[in-house]
């Protein structure tokens, strides 16, 4: 008997949208609902409509906040305190994971407040009984600025290597 393929709904910004997930995670059925340029509050506004159109996925992974942080909006984690419980009500059989923001840089400087934002996101996920996927360590260990860069020249968007590192962490996390 063939094993049923797990489904993963990805919600978030361009980092989620632009991944070639079918190639990166061929053993998982990906429903990609990333939206380039989107802020957390915009994701929160559309999440119910996205969920209502789908059969309930096994897993939901959210990576959002990159654009908020780039616009110096550091209050966005508070939006997750209402969004995550709503998602849990709509998808009570799904495992929900909040992904950390990637250890990105802007003008060759690590974005100010990134560690504090990720700590807040971790706490919010924990308080909401959701899982948290911290990408800081995988990117720190597996990405070298010159020989194995995980980011494109803008310091924000992921290179092929960055997507490979993220996909490997997602696959391990889902197992």
| pLDDT, tens digit (0-9, with 9 covering 90-100), for 79-112 | 999 999 999 999 999 999 999 999 887 655 566 6
Query: What is the per-residue pLDDT for 17?
Result: 97
**Residue 97 to residue 173: CA distance in whole angstroms:** 9
* Tokens (6 digits) for 111: 């974005």
Query: What is the per-residue pLDDT for 146?
Result: 61
Q: Is the pLDDT of residue 163 over 90?
A: yes
Q: Across the chain, what does the average pLDDT equal?
A: 91
Count helices and strands (H / E) in the chain: 8, 7
3-state secondary structure of 105: strand
Instruction: Judge contact between 149 and 108, C-beta under 8 A.
Output: no
Q: Is the pLDDT of residue 66 over 80?
A: yes
CATH of domain 6-174: 3.40.50.1110
Query: What is the per-residue pLDDT for 81?
Result: 96
Q: Is the pLDDT of residue 136 over 70?
A: yes
Q: Which residue has the higher pLDDT, 110 or 128?
A: 128
pTM: 0.92
**Residue 111 to residue 105: CA distance in whole angstroms:** 5
For 6-19, write each residue's pLDDT tens digit: 999 999 999 999 99
């Amino acid at each position: 008997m063939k094993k049923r393929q797990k489904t993963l709904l990805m919600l978030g910004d361009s980092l989620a949208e632009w991944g070639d997930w079918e190639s990166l995670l061929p053993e998982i059925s990906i429903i990609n609902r990333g939206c380039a340029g989107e802020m957390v509050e915009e994701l929160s506004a559309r999440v119910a409509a996205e969920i209502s159109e789908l059969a309930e996925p096994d897993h939901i992974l959210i990576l959002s906040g990159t654009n908020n942080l780039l616009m110096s909006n550091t209050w966005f984690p508070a939006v997750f305190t209402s969004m995550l419980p709503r998602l849990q009500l709509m998808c009570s059989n799904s495992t929900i994971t909040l992904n950390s923001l990637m250890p990105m840089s802007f003008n060759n400087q690590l974005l100010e407040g990134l560690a504090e934002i990720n700590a807040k996101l971790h706490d919010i996920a924990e308080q909401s009984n959701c899982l948290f996927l911290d990408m800081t360590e995988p990117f720190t260990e597996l990405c070298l600025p010159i020989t194995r860069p995980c980011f494109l020249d803008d310091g924000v968007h992921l290179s092929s290597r960055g997507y490979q590192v993220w996909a490997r962490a997602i696959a391990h996390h889902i197992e």
